[in-house]
């Protein structure tokens, strides 16, 4: 895991060969990010890679590894929303406070926490200790548009 405090988040993205995606537009009646004080509430970001939705239901038709990749990209979507729609550079992130991760899964699937690691780990790689966070991972019957994973976030930023 890359977490050198000497590197900025932008430098870590470059080192990892990652370009943040174009943030998804809201698919319904909500805004992508709300700021109150020094907190950003980032609306749920779906498992999208290069504009293509990663769909599926864990325990039925998608593997844990595929869903982890989806979670990783949903977390990158969170960062893209922060940079673009909150007009906030990654360097001003004080801490990712909490992630809530929803995993489309069958009732007997119980590895949502493992799927969620895909999102948690990439944030720690990019942001170092600032990317470590509290988290809840839930199995749900379905996610909008058939997505496999959705991640919402609470992020503290510098004033």
DSSP secondary structure, 32-82, as one string? SEEEETTEEEEEEEE-EETTEE-B--BTTTB-HHHHHHHHHHHHHHHHHHH
| pLDDT per residue rounded down to tens, the chain (159 residues) | 444 557 899 999 999 999 999 999 998 999 999 999 999 999 999 999 999 999 999 999 999 999 999 999 999 999 999 999 999 999 999 999 999 999 999 999 999 999 999 999 999 999 999 999 999 999 999 999 999 999 999 999 998
Distance CA 128, CA 37 (A): 23
Whole-prediction pTM: 0.95
Is residue 2 in a domain?
no
**In degrees to the nearest 10, what's the CA dihedral of 112, 118, 121, 125?**
-170
What is the number of domains present in the chain?
A: 1
- Range(s) of the domain holding residue 113: 9-157
Paired tokens of 129: 């200790």
Residue 124 within a domain:
yes
């Amino acid at each position: 895991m890359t977490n050198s405090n000497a590197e900025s988040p932008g430098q870590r993205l470059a080192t990892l060969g990652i370009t943040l995606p174009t943030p998804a537009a809201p698919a319904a009646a909500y805004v992508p990010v709300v700021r109150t004080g020094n907190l950003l509430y980032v609306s749920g970001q779906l498992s999208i890679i290069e504009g293509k939705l990663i769909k599926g239901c864990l325990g039925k038709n998608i593997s844990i590894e595929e869903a982890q990749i989806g979670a990783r990209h949903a977390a990158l979507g969170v960062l893209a929303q922060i940079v673009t729609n909150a007009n906030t550079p990654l360097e001003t992130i004080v801490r990712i406070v909490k992630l809530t991760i929803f995993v489309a899964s069958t009732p007997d699937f119980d590895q949502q926490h493992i799927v969620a690691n895909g999102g948690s780990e990439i944030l720690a790689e990019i942001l170092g200790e600032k990317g470590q966070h509290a988290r809840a991972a839930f199995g749900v019957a379905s996610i909008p548009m058939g997505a496999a994973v959705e991640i919402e976030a609470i992020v503290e930023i510098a004033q």
